[in-house]
Amino acid sequence: MQTKKLLKMIEAVLNERKGQNITVIDVQGKTSVTDYMMVVTSTSERHAKALCNYVLEKTKENSFTPLGVEGDQGSDWVLLDLGDVILHIFTAQAREFYQLEKLWSIERSKEQSV
């Protein structure tokens, strides 16, 4: 599945299931782990797990096998690894605490580059 199509499919599921503040971060060239990170806020830990399950269902319907899921049992941060896209589902408190968008938006200066 093409990455852009995967991103749109995930975003559609999250919007349909009331995910809040959906953000896509392009991390190409910043890490070799993935191309995009998607961050979404859930209303509760139960909602986070449900959002993860809905995305899993939709990706499997489209013959896409996720690489892994972390933190889906009563967690305020659920991570779904879809290869080219890593989905982070946070409760509002966890998202504020970890601030992934801020972490990945920091540009390396020439002095820091190796």
Residues 90, 81: Cα–Cα separation, whole Å: 15
pLDDT of residue 106: 62
Domain hosting 21: range is 3-100
Beta strands in 1-114 (DSSP E): 20-26, 36-42, 68-70, 77-81, 85-91
On whether residue 77 sits in a domain, the answer given is yes
On whether residue 9 sits in a domain, the answer given is yes
pLDDT of residue 112: 46
On whether residue 105 sits in a domain, the answer given is no
pLDDT tens for the chain, 114 residues long, are 589 999 999 999 999 999 999 999 999 888 888 999 999 999 999 999 999 999 999 999 998 889 999 986 778 999 999 999 999 999 999 999 999 888 877 655 444 444
Quote the number of domains for the chain: 1
Closest residue by Cα to residue 26 from 36, 15, 39, 17: 36
pLDDT of residue 64: 86
On whether residue 80 sits in a domain, the answer given is yes
Around Cβ 5, how many Cβ atoms within 10 Å? 11
